[in-house]
Structure 1
Amino acid sequence: MAPHTMESIAQEYNNEVIIPKGFWIAEEASKDIFDRDDWLFLKRIAQLGPTTDTKISDVKVGDKKLNCMHKTQPKRNLSIFYRRIDTNCIMVIGVGRHEKTNKKYDVNWCDGTRKMIDLSKTNQNGSEYLANPIGGTFSFQTLDVVINKDFLEP
């Protein structure tokens, strides 16, 4: 498998929002997971760039840890967990809703699992959860440190 380039990502997925194949097939996701307002929210997150990202660190997911960005859409309680690939490109890894507080989320992850996470519970020593759900390596420096650490082509 050739390393991902921005051109191959745009051709295989999308210029702005990457939806990993498998559990989330873009056509099915648009019907089953995301409605039109959700898609507009995703595109807006991508287009706003990294200055508005909210980072979460070492969140415990089972025996693993999650380091990524997340954003909740006000009034609709739609929470997106994602990796920032480029200034205007994100890879969605989870979609969920928070409970009464914005610390606990019920999330559908792109590996097909559905897990509740609590942002106040951390696991600094666990391996990464959903580090690179599209597989392969990248031929360019992404804006996600987890991907750069383990999936950047030398």
Structure 2
Amino acid sequence: MKLYHAFKRIAAVALLGLSSLSYAGNDTETDENGVILAGHDVIAYFKQNKPVLGNAKYTAVYNDAIYRFQSAKNRDMFNSNPEKYAPQYGGFCAYGVTFGKKFDIDGKAFEIKDGKLYVNKNMDVYKAWAENIPKHIKEANDHWPDVENVSADDL
């Protein structure tokens, strides 16, 4: 039994190591290690209504991005329905997408609207975006198909 658990740990570490050699595609905002949301636990946004850093011990991969969680329970909740919890616009700044741009985010500025997670570059940008969220969501939705598969550097 110990050998089985040791093998599982080695396989998980190897898979994470390999996944960090490649980065997520143009449609997902990740760091140089492939981690999305600046390492914040996506479930915490929904369940605790605050940004909480995840732990590298609890991870999941979705759309080529590595998600970190504060607990196995949160990881399992995400894995049961990743489409429900994944951030809109691939985790790029929601306000930036309204201008057809892709900006990285700090993981601290967020909003859940109609059951969907929107993240912004930082709190200052969030304040501008929050002035008219429905309008900005519509604008971002209009731009996203044109920028989704384009590198942020090319926009």
TM (norm. structure 2) is 0.29
Q: Which has the higher helix share?
A: 2
TM-score when normalising by structure 1: 0.29
Q: Which has the larger radius of gyration?
A: 2
State the structure with bigger RCO (CA 8 A, min sep 6), 1 or 2.
1
Greater strand fraction, Structure 1 or Structure 2: 1
